[in-house]
Amino acid sequence: MSQSSSAPLSGVKSLKSLSAVEMNKQPETVLVLPVRAKKPFPTGLCCLTLGLVVFMSGLVLASVYVYRYYFIPQVKDSLFHCRVVYEDSVYAPLRGRQELEENVGIYLDDNYEQISVPVPHFGGSDPADIIHDFQRGLTAYHDIALDKCYITELNTTLVMPPRNLWELLVNVKRGTYLPQTYIIQEEMVVTGRVRNMRQLGPFIHRLCYGKETYRLRRRNQRRRIERREIKKCHSIRHFENTFVVETVICDRV
């Protein structure tokens, strides 16, 4: 009996020792690497880029619109090709209805007008380039046939200011045509040579640079010049008003 009772005891001891070993055994540590978080998509940067693209596109379109519908019309509306029919009561062989054409440039910001008169079809007038500088109060005639310049005081009773002339020509261009008009004559006489061209201002200086340039005065301002004092006369027909002007320029002996 002693033998049979000892066997179970030994089994119990072995179970206890086994359970003690299991309890003392440390659990294995498992290294878990941190999962790298995904970077968020830069939506803010994309929105900023898209906004800049839209802004730049709008700026380009606005610039094109302003250039096309404002700047170009302003340039075009400052340059005119004009024709006028007038009654010629000055040049005897061709009395009756005559036609005169010219190119007119009106520069409102600089307050001057530039007129180009081509070779006329009829009459004895010369082709010319003319500048009316309202800032300086001067008029310059470049007689192309003679290649000479003539300077005189601006006659504001004959020459419309740039704004008024611009409005007149715009209306003519739109269809409000000038009726048949008339011609008047102004007589000028050469008084001397101009030496200092810079005093004439940049526009007249550019027109007359390198050309013989003379001063003029109107005959009705002082005593009437006797015919024997006159050497030679030539004329320029032009218009910068509702009538045609024949400017007669006479050299002294």
Cβ atoms of 131 and 204 within 8 Å: the answer is yes
Average the pLDDT over each of 50-54, 72-76, 174-178 and give the range with the smallest value.
72-76
Query: Average pLDDT, stretch 154-169?
Result: 94
Q: Report the share of the chain in percent with pLDDT over 90.
A: 44
Helical ranges in 121-234 per DSSP H:
162-173, 202-208
**In this predicted structure, what is the pLDDT of residue 156?**
93
180 pLDDT tier (thresholds 50, 70, 90): confident
221 pLDDT tier (thresholds 50, 70, 90): very low
**In this predicted structure, what is the pLDDT of residue 92?**
60
Query: Average pLDDT, stretch 64-84?
Result: 63
Query: Average pLDDT, stretch 121-138?
Result: 90
- pLDDT beyond 80 at 84: yes
Query: Average pLDDT, stretch 70-97?
Result: 71
Residue 20 DSSP class: H
CA dihedral 249, 137, 184, 163 (to 10 degrees): 140
**In this predicted structure, what is the pLDDT of residue 3?**
47
The residues pairing with 153 across neighbouring beta strands, listed in sequence order, are 138
**Two tokens, residue 253:** 């002996």
- Which residue from 79, 129, 136 is spatially nearest to 112, judged by alpha carbons? 136
251 pLDDT tier (thresholds 50, 70, 90): confident
**In this predicted structure, what is the pLDDT of residue 231?**
64
| Average pLDDT value for the chain | 78
Taking the model in full, what pTM does it have? 0.66
d(CA 238, CA 95): 17
- pLDDT beyond 50 at 228: no
d(CA 185, CA 237): 9
